[in-house]
């Protein structure tokens, strides 16, 4: 609320699964002010530790209030609402690969209304969800994309390019000796395989990033 174009604000934890938990900010702007999630995020980064910076921003005309005048947090819409402030111009998928990737991201991030150039981590993603994305990519496209490549290019457009490179190389991903039956079990098995490839230093860095992205418990 210290930002000059913000009139009201509220922040809560959203997401139905532990991996998808994220801070969502609900913002009411000053009259006719054009809100930008990137501007608000950069403003907060200069004042807060990383784990306290909201992952998503939703614009409202007014915050819902209880008769007492306090914010009615239960009445706040889910972050998948069309009111969510886009990180940039929303670009639709160009081909089947990008459409399938959009579906994967929607399921894991539990958000809608993003484009193929949006940043996975600015949409609320974290390191653990990134590994799950790559597990789904391996299963859907039968290619291997490294964690480092995804961190360097965390958009659907860039991920599609990595998939096409992997396909062109002809390399096939290594498969577990025993294939789990359920989708959750399959993801868990591939996730374990991804983690097994990391060095102790990389694992520690991954844990630090996950911890820094966790919302406070109180």
For residues 50 and 43, give the distance between their C-alpha atoms in angstroms, rounded to a whole number: 12
Instruction: Tell me if residue 24 falls in helix, strand or coil.
Output: strand
At the topology level, CATH places domain 6-75 in GMP Synthetase; Chain A, domain 3 (3.30.300)
The residues near 209 (Cβ < 8 Å, ≥ 6 apart) are 126, 127
Evaluate if residue 215 carries a pLDDT over 80: no
Q: Which helix (H) or strand (E) holds 210?
A: helix 200-213
Report whether 128 contacts 188 (CB < 8 A).
no
- Spatial distance between the Cα atoms of 202 and 142, rounded to a whole number of angstroms: 25
The secondary element (H helix, E strand) that includes residue 168 is helix 156-169
Highest average pLDDT, of 18-22, 26-30, 183-187, 199-203, comes from 26-30
Q: What is the pLDDT of residue 213?
A: 46
The yes-or-no verdict on residue 56 having pLDDT over 50 is: yes
What is the pTM for the complete model shown? 0.56
The predicted pLDDT at position 90 comes to 75
Q: What is the mean pLDDT of the chain?
A: 78
Q: Identify the CATH assignment for 96-213 out of 1.10.1200.10, 2.60.34.10, 1.10.3720.10, 3.10.310.10.
A: 1.10.1200.10
* pLDDT of amino acid 204: 59
User: Cα-Cα-Cα-Cα dihedral of 215, 126, 98, 112, to 10°?
Assistant: 0
pLDDT digits (tens, 9 = 90+) for 165-203: 999 987 666 654 444 545 444 445 545 555 555 555 566
β pairing state of 22-29 and 6-14: antiparallel
pLDDT reading at 154 higher than 60: yes
**Domain ranges, ordered by start, for the chain:** 6-75, 96-213
| Region 63-74 average pLDDT | 92
């Amino acid at each position: 609320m210290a930002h000059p174009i913000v009139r009201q604000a509220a922040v809560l934890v959203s997401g139905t699964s532990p991996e998808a938990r994220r801070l969502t900010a609900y913002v009411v702007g000053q009259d006719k002010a054009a809100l930008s999630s990137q501007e608000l995020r950069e403003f907060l980064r200069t004042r807060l530790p990383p784990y306290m910076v909201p992952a998503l921003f939703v614009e409202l005309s007014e915050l819902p209030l209880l008769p007492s005048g306090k914010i009615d947090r239960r009445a706040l819409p889910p972050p998948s609402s069309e009111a969510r402030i886009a990180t940039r111009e929303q670009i639709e998928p160009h081909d089947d690969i990008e459409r399938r990737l959009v579906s994967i991201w929607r399921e894991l991030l539990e958000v809608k209304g993003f484009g193929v150039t949006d940043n996975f981590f600015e949409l609320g993603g974290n390191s653990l969800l990134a590994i799950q994305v790559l597990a789904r990519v391996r299963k859907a496209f039968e290619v291997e994309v490294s964690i480092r490549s995804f961190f360097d290019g965390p958009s659907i457009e860039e991920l599609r390019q990595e998939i096409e490179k992997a396909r062109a190389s002809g390399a096939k991903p290594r498969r577990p000796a025993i294939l789990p039956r359920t989708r959750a079990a399959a993801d868990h098995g591939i996730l374990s395989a991804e983690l097994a490839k990391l060095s102790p230093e990389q694992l520690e860095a991954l844990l630090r990033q996950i911890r820094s992205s966790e919302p406070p418990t109180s």
